Amino acid sequence: MRITEFSHPRLAQAFVDYMATQGIRLRLQAEASRVSLWLDDVSQQSRVEQELQLFVANPDHPRYQAASWQSGTTRSGLQYAGSASILANLRARAGGLTVSVIAACVLVFIWQQVAGDGAVMMWLAWPADPAQYMEVWRWFTPALLHFSLLHILFNLLWWWYLGGAVEKRLGSGKLLVIALISALLSGWMQAKFSGISFGGLSGVVYALMGYCWLRGERDPHSGVFLERGLMAFALVWLVIGWLGMFGLSIANAAHLTGLLVGLAMALADTTRLSDRRNR
C-alpha cells in the first residue's frame, strides 16, 4: 500500500527508521524527484497514518533522530526499490488480480504466436453474429488479445502501474468492476466503429487513467492518482490516434470510451464518498 511521498529522501528515511523501531516495516521507492513510502502489511495502515501525522507536524523531534541511530545499528529492514529483484518490485505493487490479468495476456499472446492471430480470434474475438452472443466470454476477452510485442508491453506496463495501485488501495473488487465495465463498453464501441477485428487492454488502461486521475484530484486521501503530466500524455496520444498520425493502427473508439467510463466511475465514487462525509 502506498502511504505517502516526500520530496526530501532524508525525511522519508527518518520516518521509515522510526516505524522500524515500532515493529512496522516500510519500504522506500524513488519516483522521479520524490520518494514514496510503501506498507506491505495493510492491517497496520491506521497506525502508520497516525504516526505520519505526528511526524509531519514535528519531523525534528529527538525521537526520530534517535530512531535513525538505533536502526542504523540494529538493521531496520529498509528495502530500496533498486535493491530488490524485478519480480519483488512487481509483486510489491500488484495484487492477485493485476498479476492474473498480466499472466492471461501473456499466455494468450504466446498462443497467438504459435497458432496465429486468426485461430485465436475464432475463440476470443468480439461476437461476430447473434449466434455467438451467448458465448459470454467474447464480450470481455478481446481485451486479452495483442498483436505485437510493443502493443502488449505498453498495455501491461500501464495496467501494472495503475491497476496495481487501484487493487492495493481500493481492493480487487473495485479493480474488477472497472476492468469488466470498461472492457465491455470500450469493446462494444470499437466494434460499432471498426468491426470485430480488434483487441488489446488499452480500453481498460484508458479507463484506469481517467479513474486514477479524477479520483486523485477529488479524493487525494485515497492514495490513487495519476500525475497530471502523464494524464496530458494520455490525452495527446488519444489525439494522435484520432488524427491518424505516424500511420499507427489504434483503437480510437475503445480508448475514448474507456477514458469516459473511467472518469464517470471516479466521479460517481467520489460523489458518493463526499455525500457520506457530509451527512
Which residues form the catalytic set?
202, 255
Beta-bridge mates of residue 27:
38
Could you tell me the CA-to-CA distances from 63 to 56, 67, 176 in Å, in that order? 13, 6, 43
Side chain identity at residue 238, one-letter code: L
By three-state DSSP, how is residue 196 classified? coil
Beta-bridge mates of residue 5:
36
H-helix or E-strand containing 218?
helix 202-218
Cell of residue 164, nine digits: 496495481
Distance CA 92, CA 84 (A): 10
Unique residue bearing C-alpha cell 483503437:
251
Question: Phi and psi of 160, rounded to 5°?
Answer: -65, -45
H-helix or E-strand containing 31?
strand 26-31
174, 144 Cβ separation under 8 angstroms: no
